[in-house]
Amino acid sequence: MTTIVDEVSAEHVRGRGGGGPAPTRVVVAYGFWIFLLSDFVMFSGLFATYAVLSGQTAGGPTGHELFNLHSVFIETACLLFSSYTCGLGALSAERGQQGRFYLFSLFTFVLGAAFLFIEISEFVGMIDKGAGPSRSAFLSSFFTLVGMHGAHVTTGLLWLVYMVAQAAAKGLRPHVLRRLLCFSLFWHALDIIWVGVLTLVYLIGVE
């Protein structure tokens, strides 16, 4: 009888602060989730800027002339698959499968680096054509928005290397797993922002 009563009261208080403080893991992930949402809010400012300025080409090249959808599709696929391997890596780490974690992290890193390589070569190609960030308001906002996403991906790659080093040096201990959880949240969030960039900047811009 007591267990049933306990379960009912546990059910009743769940999510309402009952049952004492939440475990560290829940607190850490929730805090990091709030940070990611604030990152989305920051990106929303850049998206709004781009949406307002995308028509202001000052007689310079438009998105239709500059964007190459083939490389954008490859970029998108790289980031999506890296999000997938990152999720599988986090899952392997949770289950204590260190070898699989290294393997999936390697895939994540290679795919993320491929994304970044394509993006940087796209930027270099545009600047060579005289379509740098100083050419028009459209290009300023384009480089700010896409470049900010690229900067996040760069940070994510450095963080991934750091996490693999931690897993190798300290093993998959609870605090390492918590940091890894934050990293995988960050990496999935970057993919969500990329969906917005892809749609607003590339697909609607070229159409």
Q: How far apart are CA 101 and CA 207, in angstroms?
A: 40
CB distance 142 to 112 below 8 Å: no
Which token pair is 5? 């009563």
CA 136 to mean position of chain CA atoms: 28
Q: How many Cβ atoms sit within 10 Å of the Cβ of residue 155?
A: 12
Closest CA to 105 of 166, 175, 162, 164: 164
171 is a site residue for another protein (CB under 8 A): no
Based on the shown chain and the rule CB under 8 A, indicate whether residue 196 belongs to the binding site for another protein. yes
Whether residue 181 contacts residue 25, with contact meaning beta carbons closer than 8 Å, is answered with yes
Under rule CB under 8 A, which residues in 122-141 are in contact with another protein?
A: none
Q: Is 200 exposed, middle or buried (0-12, 13-18, 19+ CB in 10 A)?
A: middle
Per CB under 8 A, does 168 bind another protein?
no
Q: Does 185 bind another protein (CB under 8 A)?
A: yes
Site string for another protein, 60-79 (x = CB under 8 A): ---------x---x--xx--
For position 159 contacting another protein by CB under 8 A, the verdict is no
Q: How far apart are CA 63 and CA 106, in angstroms?
A: 34
Given the complex with another protein, which of 57 and 184 has the nearer CB atom?
Answer: 184
Interface region with another protein, contact rule CB under 8 A, candidates 105-113, 146-154, 163-171, 186-194: 186-194
Query: Which part of the chain contacts another protein (CB under 8 A), choosing from 49-57, 116-124, 135-143, 167-175?
Result: 49-57
> Which amino acid is located at 170 in the chain?
K
Residues that bind another protein (CB under 8 A): 6-7, 10-11, 13-15, 18-19, 22-23, 25-26, 28-30, 33-34, 37-38, 40-41, 43-45, 47-49, 51-52, 69, 73, 76-77, 80-81, 83-84, 87-88, 90-91, 94, 181, 184-185, 188-189, 191-192, 195-196, 198-200, 203-204, 206-207
